[in-house]
Structure 1
Amino acid sequence: MAERARADAMRNRERLLDAAATAFASSDGPVSLDAIARAAGVGIGTLYRHFPSREALTEAVYRAELAEVAASAGKLLARHPPAVALRRWMDRYAEFVAAKRGMAESLRVVFESGAVVPGDTRASIVGAVELLITAGTGDGSLRAEVRADDLVSSLLGITLASSSAGQTQRMLDLLAAGVVAR
């Protein structure tokens, strides 16, 4: 019986994380925790049992999405040539950054508390880009002098400075073209 209760609790936690990630991604401002609980099909008490504060939920969503975006580099490389995988990963990274707008205030508190360290986030993203660049320089499709840290800075600048999704896509296309081997 205890195993079933743990399995139900894990499913509820995952549903809460999924609902929160969706809500944060589709909102430009704070999201109601009641709305997240309803979307997950659980009561607000269940949400608070798993995540005692908005910041705890925000941190959990952020960590899960960061892990997923970093891991997606390897998954894309398994299915696509390195240059294509890199461009598709850029899209995934842009989605990751855009989704943070709906949880910006809570995320700021999480960073200020030290629960999430910006350098750790950057290291995770740089590691994913290094994987893609290494594969691309290995097969000759990407320029060998491209530094992962420079590419990450460019990606972040594009995603933060773009005024529309269309502009983001055009700028990512330009960046991707700039790292392709001639």
Structure 2
Amino acid sequence: MSSPVRRADAAENRARIIQAARAVIASSDELRLNAIAKQAGVGQGTLYRHFPTREDLLAEVYRQDVDELVAAAPALLAEHEPVAALARWFDQVADYARVKRGVFAAVEVAVWKDLSAHSLGPIGDALTTLLDAGKADGTIRPDVDARDVILLIGYLSRLGEAEWDARARHLLDVVLDGLRRRR
């Protein structure tokens, strides 16, 4: 039986590995597991115990990003008016999309399909929550739904790294402006 200290240590190692992987994905086209292990301050054996394959690690980074994005919607609505909450959520979408693009580029097609199934429903539900709040207070157009927005923001996957900083958030602002109800 494992001691509580050992389990806490393992959980901490796992979290550091995921954090290092997220940073590498966001900043590099090349994902080298030995570099991630070094950045996380763990040995390669520890990395492979937690994530036997590169795809396992990438899938976990992706799943955590989806979970964080979904959890952000109600939290943002609790603190901000609907349009401001949606704008802040879009900021998180831009960060998420940058990581997602790197993850999808590196994960095999079968894994990608599983990840897409995991994310589409919860992300659509979170977006619906934000849109419904804006519709209820009259700031969001009544004729849009989550699927419309997901289709519109799909362009993020087409932005190259060279133009990401200049265009990603600007284009999300354009989408947000199109979602606003005109009075």
- Normalising by structure 2, what TM-score? 0.89
What residue number does 2:22 align with?
21
The answer to whether the Cα contact below 8 Å between 1:55 and 1:106 also exists between their aligned partners in 2 is yes
Shift of 1:101: 3.5
Shift of 1:146: 1.1
1:131 is matched with which residue: 129, 132, 138? 129
Shift of 1:113: 4.0
Query: Residue deviations 1:94-149, cap 9 Å, x none?
Result: 21111234334432x1x414772423322121111101001111111111111111
Q: 2:114 aligns to what SS in structure 1?
A: coil
Q: 1:181 aligns to what SS in structure 2?
A: coil
Query: Residue deviations 1:4-25, cap 9 Å, x none?
Result: 1111111111111111111111
Where do residues 8-87 of structure 1 align in structure 2 (5 Å cutoff)? Answer: 8-27=9-28, 29-87=29-87
The letter for the 1-side match of 2:32 is S
User: For structure 1, which segment, 140-149 or 5-14, has the greater mean C-alpha deviation from structure 2 after superposition?
Assistant: 140-149
Question: CA distance change for structure 1 residues 117 and 34 in 2, over 3 Å: closer, same or farther?
Answer: closer
Q: In 1, Cα distance between the equivalents of 2:11 and 2:122?
A: 25
What residue number does 1:160 align with?
157
- Structure 1, unaligned runs of 5 or more: none
Q: Does 1:176 align with 2:173?
A: no
User: For structure 1, which segment, 88-97 or 119-128, has the greater mean C-alpha deviation from structure 2 after superposition?
Assistant: 119-128
- Normalising by structure 1, what TM-score? 0.90
The answer to whether the Cα contact below 8 Å between 1:90 and 1:155 also exists between their aligned partners in 2 is no
The answer to whether the Cα contact below 8 Å between 2:62 and 2:99 also exists between their aligned partners in 1 is no
The answer to whether the Cα contact below 8 Å between 2:72 and 2:89 also exists between their aligned partners in 1 is yes
Q: In 2, Cα distance between the equivalents of 1:15 and 1:140?
A: 43
Shift of 1:80: 1.1
What residue number does 1:147 align with?
145
Q: In 1, Cα distance between the equivalents of 2:179 and 2:76?
A: 17
Number of residue pairs matched by the alignment: 178
User: For structure 1, which segment, 59-68 or 164-173, has the greater mean C-alpha deviation from structure 2 after superposition?
Assistant: 164-173
- Structure 2, unaligned runs of 5 or more: none
Q: In 2, Cα distance between the equivalents of 1:115 and 1:154?
A: 20
Q: 1:141 aligns to what SS in structure 2?
A: coil
The letter for the 1-side match of 2:100 is K
Shift of 1:69: 1.2
Q: In 2, Cα distance between the equivalents of 1:124 and 1:117?
A: 12
Q: Kindly, what percent of the aligned residue pairs are identical?
A: 37
Query: Residue deviations 1:37-75, cap 9 Å, x none?
Result: 111111111001100111111111111111111111122
